[in-house]
Chain A
Amino acid sequence: MTEHLHLLHILHELQQKHRYISEKSICEVAAQLSLPVSQVRAVVAFYAFFYSTPCGHYHILFSNCTSCGYRAGGTDLLRLLSQKLSVNIGQTRKDEQVSIDETSCIGMCDHGPSLLINGVPLVHLDAEKIEQMATLIEADKPLNGWPPAWFHVKDHIYKRGLLLDSSLSAGDGLRATLTRGREGTLTEIIQSKLRGRGGAGFSTGLKWRLCQQAAGEAHYVVCNADEGEPGTFKDRMLLQQHADALCEGMTICAYVIGAYQGFIYLRGEYRYLLPHLQATLMHRRKLGLLGTAILGQTEFDFDIDIVVGAGAYICGEESALIESLEGKPGIPRSRPPFPVAHGYLGQPTVVNNVETLIAATHIACKGSAWFTALGTPASTGSKLLSISGDCAAPGIYEYPFGITIQQILDECGAVNVQAVQVGGPAGTLLDQTAFNRQLAFEDVGTGGSFMIFNQERDILTIIHQFAAFFAHESCGFCTPCRVGTILLKQGLDKIMIGQGARNDMAELQRVSELVRRYSHCGLGHTAANPILDGLQYFSQAFEQRLTPYDFTARFKLDAALQEARQLTRHDGKEAHLEQGQD
């Protein structure tokens, strides 16, 4: 199968085997796949989970998400483990036993502070567990000898609606599709007014139609299972529990648009789901729901391959995802042309979110009226939410569109709420005055992330974490995003350490608008949202920390002299500056 020949998969195997990818390996892989050595080198340098120097035998990546991150429990667990194991963060210990670092949200937000150890999620961290981990690592105990409960990722589903309530047997959607025929099925999807669940909310029926009508040598269906928005984990549950309906949605789409090949692009953080997904594909092939002559229909051939990413949020952007599928760094293409006309290998391609494809299967089965009966006129059906942060029951909730923020907060047991971040860092930061707003594309849109922050949280710290996330995840292709996201993070750094002046808030506003307006893709267009919302609705959080001066430096002079004091070994009182009005 092509899966095993994919550049990302070959590199992953090398990374596993040698704990890094050497220059020698890069040249060998380039020769093996007849690729320019620069392309392989660029791919290795682009993806977070490939390293050019050896990682430890235990390679640990703490999630730095505001919900499942290492600071989420109040203690800095990353620092704690680094002290226990005497290893510097971001460096491999001299004996090569261990390396620890942080990574962007790993999608375990309903499981408390979490990490990936050698690629496997370990959840519900606390100080005690860190202590035990340190002992196990020093004793060189293999992971399969660690307490299995540590690795148990349970799906917390608290509210089931349209999709989660109804069950389908494998093949139901496809049989209904064959009965209705190509055009009938497409009409049903269009009439359901299903809009993409990956965030942007583009009409699914229209996307399929545009792709169907686009001329090409081959058509492709891609499932976007890259779920990288911090605070989202509903696709994780869907992939685990509804993989059949997902594959069926892809097959229905394939039938409608005339595709023979589909791909599931799975984020690297969810690699542990791979055996389950492969088993689902095998099973479906056995049932005649994938492969040649599906359900006995000659001329209906379709199969699905899985490609696993390697740690890059930007690969959720559909054209970056396609580049990644093609074995390249995940850099968004310029559009037009759009993927529906010019996608994978330049051919017409549908890219849909996991939830969208599952919804399509249900619509094919139960009809569009079943779907439009719920929701609002412009946002039909239901939406799965990944609720995390300060509430009694973090987990998955399915609501009809149109529900208000306050209703959701009440149901998940959130009290004393200061703010809600809907749609992840790229979405909208809402304060209390907005809790009566509705969840719907025409009001507050979302891909599913719903993060709750109570009164105890420091909003500026949260905004700063989001800014750091975007600076880390910018692909680097365009100037405003590559440089701008760094400047935004640094601007917030300055205010956070108490060196910010009023002028720095104005500067944050200016740079934010520039990044939003001039960037090449959706990442840059939305990266400044938390800052702009923060300046508008939580300006006090910024103002509280400003100095009384009009301008200040980005550093504290006295602190900056520390190195000089160390070098000259003059650390007496006379070697310190008076800090004035501190």
Chain B
Amino acid sequence: MVTEPESKFIRIDDQEIPFVHGQTIMDATLAAGVYIPHLCHFPGITPQGNCKLCTVEVDGKPLAACTSPAAAGQRIRNNTPELNESRKALTQMLFIEGNHICPSCEKTGNCPLQAMAYHLGMLHGHFPAQFPVREVDASHPTIMLDRDRCILCSLCVRASREVDGKNVFAIAGRGTHASLIVNTANGKLVDSDIEPSDLAARICPVGAILIKEHGYDAPIGKRIFDQHKINEIGLEKIYIAGAKSDDS
């Protein structure tokens, strides 16, 4: 006998939203049209929980919404000044940890990290820039890897394994030495089976993985975040498709 799953609810800020068993807080809120800031989460891909921007307070306890299961009766705070202030600090950390060159970056205007900074009111890096020295991999004919801007969100790693079925990327190294590596004998992208149409090649929320010869295709005013705000639900589809239309 099959019983109807009981409809259960969580309360986020002042809104009651339903969830079904197995959903995370992020799944439930996205489905209900409630935005929780996030950079390392992408619907349909196993959540990892490493950017920590999606941290919400669940019954007073800070938890990453993307990896925490929804449970009946949870009282969640999301859009609060304290949480947003902390999210801004985390975003600043991501900026100063790498070498971000927004004004001249090929991804500018199409970049979720940049859009997040605007969304959270980030006006400067605040923390001392770390100026890491990271390797560029331009070996592939159509895809470029500029690790300077990688925020170690592992989206490309997961997209390649779970969606493209290829396992092109991994993250190696400890602490501040963590870096994105390529799963080939010589570590170069050219020897991998990645293709520009792969999700892994398009999902990068910064300008670390770029499709060659399409930088600056869209003029200012026509770029994704000229027309959309990062807190629009379902935006992921637009920027994957948006990047694709650059190909035309």
Contact = CB atoms under 8 A, between A and B. Distances in A.
Interface residues of B, number: 41
Interface in A26-57: 27, 36-39, 41-42, 44-48
Interface in B152-197: 152, 167, 169-178, 181-187
Given A478-B49, A479-B90, A517-B86, A39 B174 contact: no
Contacts of B15: none
Most buried by B among A472, A473, A482: A482
Contacts of A518: 52, 55, 62, 86, 90
B50 A479 contact: yes
A520 B66 CA distance: 12
A483 interface: yes
A79 B55 CA distance: 44
Contact of B183 (A23, A38, A472): A38
A478 B50 contact: yes
A82 B167 CA distance: 43
Interface string B114-141: 0000000000000110100000000000
A48 B174 CA distance: 9
Interface stretch (B1-9, B29-37, B93-101, B221-229): B93-101
Contacts of A520: 49-50, 52, 64
A38 B181 contact: yes
B229 to A, nearest CB: 22
A485 interface: yes
B97 A483 contact: yes
A42 B181 contact: yes
B51 A36 contact: no
Contacts of B78: none
Interface in A317-339: 329, 334, 336
B242 interface: no
Given A37-B184, A334-B49, A490-B128, A45 B93 contact: no
A330 to B, nearest CB: 9
Per CB-CB distance, the 8 closest pairs between chain A and chain B, nearest first, are: A476-B178, A38-B183, A38-B170, A42-B172, A483-B93, A45-B172, A45-B173, A474-B175
Given A483-B96, A514-B90, 10 more contacts: A36-B170, A38-B181, A46-B172, A476-B174, A479-B94, A483-B93, A483-B127, A487-B127, A518-B86, A520-B52
22 contacts: A38-B183, A42-B173, A45-B173, A46-B173, A329-B172, A336-B69, A471-B175, A475-B175, A476-B152, A476-B171, A476-B173, A476-B176, A478-B49, A479-B52, A480-B93, A482-B175, A483-B93, A483-B176, A514-B86, A518-B86, A519-B52, A520-B52
Interface of B: 48-53, 55, 62, 64, 67, 69, 86, 89-90, 93-94, 96-97, 127-128, 130, 151-152, 167, 169-178, 181-187
